[in-house]
Amino acid sequence: MEKTKVEIAIFFCTHLRERVQGVLKGSSGSGADRFRPVSLPCSGKLEVFQLTRALETGADGVALFGCPEGACRYLAGSLRAKGRVGHTARILEEIGWGKDRVRRFVMENEPEQDFLQDFSGWVERVRAMDRFRKNLDGQVPSSAPAAEGEGRA
């Protein structure tokens, strides 16, 4: 059985470019998935609307690769990124898209193979989620509650 292809938007701190490229190279061996990498001057520059816009424009999941807290060159960037990804996850959960569509990966000094395994596991969880893009045309998914004053026939 053929795997469902997924599209993943990947935002990353420009200081992690080489490590991110290594992870993506290791993840794209099968060619089954599409990764859209976007470099940022710092992961803390990422805003909530960028995460949600990536999903609105076709990504099945959004990953953020950032530095560990305390190791950010701009001091608070990692903490800002952590908060924004958490806020986005709560929004996605509230609207029924699933909080696990967005994830922050901290690129510490762990072996690349361990990191690749963690990232690949998340991609598989995204693959297993319902495809919601079909519902972006204004149709209310059958699993989503109807808005107040909006009846179902």
27-45 pLDDT per residue, tens:
765 556 889 999 999 888 9
CATH label of the domain that carries residue 26 = 3.40.50.960
- Residue 153 covered by a domain: no
> What's the rounded Cα separation, in Å, for the pair 133 and 42?
29
- How many independent structural domains does the chain possess? 1
- Residue 93 covered by a domain: yes
DSSP tag of 14: G
79-132 pLDDT per residue, tens:
889 999 999 999 999 999 999 999 999 888 777 777 888 898 999 999 888 765
- Residue 125 covered by a domain: yes
Three-class SS state of 98 = coil
- Residue 106 covered by a domain: yes
Domain encompassing residue 39? 7-137
- Residue 147 covered by a domain: no
- Residue 1 covered by a domain: no
Note the pTM of the prediction, 2 decimals. 0.79
- Residue 26 covered by a domain: yes
> What's the rounded Cα separation, in Å, for the pair 28 and 120?
10
Going by C-beta distance under 8 Å and a sequence separation of 6 or more, which residues neighbour residue 125? Answer: 100
- Residue 150 covered by a domain: no
